């Protein structure tokens, strides 16, 4: 393996840690001598939850951003061409001063944290940092005000109850919850939130399950949680939104802020309309993210990842333009 291939292989390896809808990890990497191509893995799509592959693309965007950060942190320039097939082609440029080393270091310890958050609330300076991280990808961040929380909560709970009445969707979510360890994917029950009250309800991954999951006691009832809406100027920028989501989550991790993405409000047209009204701009909402500081010490359990051999393939057919 040449040093250039090793840089790309390392990037694809780190990109496996990207967040994805139901931890489906719906991506494939093809590594050449100086390029890495990212393709969607539609065999891991979710026909009920995500029939148009929007959240699949958003997940691929997060993997793309993880990979670019990993390349830049290794001291190489990289150019990204976005398309449909491949979704993105990353071409290595010449050596450069290492950049984003803090974000790259955060990749392996960032986790979706569904625990109840304590009373400390992420301050406006944190939100400003996250906004800047997202803006670098052409997206926007709209913090949800306290007086808007009841609307966010009501819309989320209504979206969840509608989803619960769709047997196909329920079965799909159940299929991806608490899978055998060997699969290396899906949502472990130990990382979910139980149906105890929160200011804004969390997704109930396994309504029929007993045991497992984080509850919210009255003392830690998620009181300090802050919510932000990731939105953009175009309705179909899902790949870019994923890149912005990754930038947001990694920046938050560097700043010691725990996060959990929440997509229930963008999965069906009418809750997405409510979210559009709530943000009060002409923008298009892509995702809600809950931010805060968990009341418990230590990290939450990690979600598994697929073996590298399932997601990364090597084939040296590309010419080599860079020394």
Tokens standing for residue 1: 């393996």
b (16+ CB within 10 A) / e for 54-73 = bbbbbbbbbbbbbbbbbbbb
* Closer by beta carbon to ligand FMN, 24 or else 91: 24
Cβ distance to ligand FMN smaller for residue 27 or 29: 27
Phi, psi at 312, each rounded to 5°: -125, 130
Shorter beta-carbon distance to ligand FMN: residue 75 or 302: 302
- For residues 44 and 114, which CB has a smaller minimum distance to ligand FMN in the complex? 114
Q: How far apart are CB 163 and ligand FMN at their closest, in Å?
A: 10
**Helix or strand run (H / E) with residue 287:** strand 284-292
Smallest distance from the beta carbon of 219 to ligand FMN, in angstroms? 22
Strand order in the sheet with 140-143: 140-143, 226-232, 284-292, 258-262
Nearest one of 105, 95, 34 to 69, comparing CA atoms:
105
Structure tokens at 190: 């130990």
The single residue listed with the structure tokens 């990353």 is 90
Q: Which is nearer to ligand FMN, 56 or 223 (CB)?
A: 56
Residue of this chain nearest to ligand FMN (CB atom): 19
Helix then strand then coil, in percent of the chain rounded to 5, is: 40, 20, 40
Residues that bind ligand FMN (CB under 6 A): 19-23, 55, 58-59, 62, 111-112, 114, 187, 202-203, 260-264, 303
d(CA 147, CA 280): 14
Q: How far is the CB of 128 from ligand FMN (least distance, A)?
A: 23
**CB 284 within 8 Å of CB 276:** yes
Residue in 7, 1, 18, 9 with CA at minimum distance from that of residue 309: 9
Cα 300 to Cα 323: distance, rounded to the nearest angstrom: 43
Q: CB 6 → ligand FMN: shortest distance, Å?
A: 24
CB of 45 to ligand FMN, least distance (A): 12
Smaller CB separation from ligand FMN, 60 or 78: 60
Distances in Å between the alpha carbon of 191 and those of 115, 117, 211? 8, 14, 12
Minimum distance from residue 198 beta carbon to ligand FMN (Å): 11
CB of 209 to ligand FMN, least distance (A): 15
Q: Which is nearer to ligand FMN, 62 or 295 (CB)?
A: 62
């Amino acid at each position: 393996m040449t040093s250039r291939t090793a840089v790309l292989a390392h990037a694809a390896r780190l990109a496996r840690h990207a967040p994805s809808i139901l931890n489906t990890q719906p991506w494939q990497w093809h590594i050449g001598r100086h390029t890495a191509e990212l393709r969607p893995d539609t065999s891991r799509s979710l026909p009920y939850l995500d029939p148009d592959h929007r959240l699949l693309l958003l997940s691929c965007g997060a993997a793309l951003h993880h990979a670019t950060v990993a390349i830049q942190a290794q001291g190489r320039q990289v150019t990204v061409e976005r398309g449909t097939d491949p979704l993105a082609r990353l071409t290595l440029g010449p050596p450069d001063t290492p950049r984003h080393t803090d974000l790259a270091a955060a990749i392996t310890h960032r986790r979706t944290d569904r625990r109840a958050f304590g009373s400390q609330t992420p301050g406006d300076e944190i939100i400003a940092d996250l906004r800047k991280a997202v803006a670098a990808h052409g997206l926007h961040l709209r913090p949800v005000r306290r007086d808007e929380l009841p609307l966010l909560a009501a819309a989320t709970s209504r979206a969840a109850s509608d989803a619960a009445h769709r047997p196909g969707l329920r079965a799909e979510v159940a299929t991806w919850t608490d899978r055998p360890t060997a699969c290396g994917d899906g949502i472990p029950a130990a990382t979910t939130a139980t149906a105890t009250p929160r200011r804004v309800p969390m997704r109930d991954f396994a309504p029929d399950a007993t045991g497992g999951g984080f509850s919210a006691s009255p003392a830690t009832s998620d009181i300090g949680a802050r919510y932000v809406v990731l939105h953009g100027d175009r309705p179909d920028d899902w790949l870019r939104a994923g890149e912005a989501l990754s930038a947001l989550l990694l920046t938050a991790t560097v700043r010691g802020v725990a996060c959990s993405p929440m997509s229930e409000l963008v999965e069906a047209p009418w809750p997405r309309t409510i979210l559009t009204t709530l943000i009060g701009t002409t923008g298009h909402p892509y995702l809600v993210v809950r931010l805060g500081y968990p009341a418990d010490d230590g990290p939450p359990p990690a979600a598994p990842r697929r073996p590298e051999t399932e997601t990364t393939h090597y084939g040296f057919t590309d010419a080599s333009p860079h020394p």
